[in-house]
Amino acid sequence: MAFRSPRAARVRPHAASATPTEPDSPDPTDEAAPFPAPAHLGGEREPLLRIRGLRRSFQVSGEPLHVLVDCSMDVQRGEVVAIVGESGSGKSTLLNLLGLLDTANGGEHIFDGVDVTRLREGQRARLRNNGIGFVFQQFHLLERRSAMANVAVPLVLGGVPLIRRRAIAKQLLTSLGLGHRLHAQPHQLSGGEQQRVALARAMCLNPSLILADEPTGALDATTSELIMDQLLEQARHRGAAVIVVTHEPSVASRADRTMNIADGRMY
């Protein structure tokens, strides 16, 4: 599946022949504007993420293609949720919406107390960069950069000073068993090592939400277990919410709960 990296945030998730219908969102403007607050969610424990009736459609040859029809769920801090669905069920589109890489046509989307549907483009980018980490099946590492440099990319974008960037990247890689591979480039790393670099990159800004798109799809069983161990660690000991899209029952079984998606609907 083609879940896009943060660098591709301005690229539409479908081919050029599929033109998105106009979403109900404001025009891009001031990045520094304060985030609009949602109405109080009620209850004793408000979720980190709440979506209700989320919809997304695209125009294809002049006709609407309804990819997401009615998606609703809550995700708590420290919770691991697996999303399972067949190819074409809408998983990629849903992750792009949850990662603030795309905008829904309708529905409610609250993330970390912020009404996402009311955000301007600059505000969305700021919230995404500060609050969401991404782990991809294809790693998306910079080929001519070291493991440390790859991990530090979000820190550069976040304006973190060089010495601090290096310290954070080294600490994360060492915690993932890559202390001896700090200066290795992607072509010098195994698939499992590359995925651990990608995971460290996702963790470097201490996000409250980690989105993992088939993170073990290209890995052997042992390395897959290691990656899942690290994702669970982020939830259990740091309180991050983790959403994992997977086809693998062994991965889904380690989540706190599993949600299915089919024909654009979640259940």
- Mind listing the pLDDT tens digit for each residue in 87-129? 889 998 999 999 999 999 999 999 999 999 999 999 999 999 8
Q: Residue 16 pLDDT > 70, yes or no?
A: no
Rounded mean pLDDT, 209-214: 94
CATH topology of domain 6-17+77-102+119-266: Rossmann fold (3.40.50)
- Where are any strands of DSSP class E within the chain? 18-20, 49-60, 63-75, 80-84, 106-111, 114-115, 132-136, 209-213, 241-245, 257-262, 265-266
Q: Residue 141 pLDDT > 80, yes or no?
A: yes
Tokens of 25: 């969102």
Tokens of 223: 């390395």
Distance (Å, whole) CA 207 – CA 5:
15
C-alpha distances (whole Å) from 8 to each of 99, 102, 113, 125, 209 are 12, 11, 25, 12, 19
Q: Which residues contact 167 (CB under 8 A, 6 or more apart)?
A: none
Model confidence over 56-90: pLDDT tens digits? 999 898 889 999 999 999 999 999 999 999 888 99
Query: Residues 84, 87, 92, 98: what is their CA dihedral angle, to the nearest 10 degrees?
Result: -30
Other beta carbons within 10 Å of 221: 10
Spans of all domains in the chain: 6-17+77-102+119-266
Model confidence over 221-260: pLDDT tens digits? 888 898 899 999 999 999 999 999 998 899 999 999 999 9
Q: Residue 175 pLDDT > 70, yes or no?
A: yes
User: Residue 71's beta-bridge partner residues?
Assistant: 54
What's the whole-model pTM score?
A: 0.80
Three-state DSSP state, 105: coil
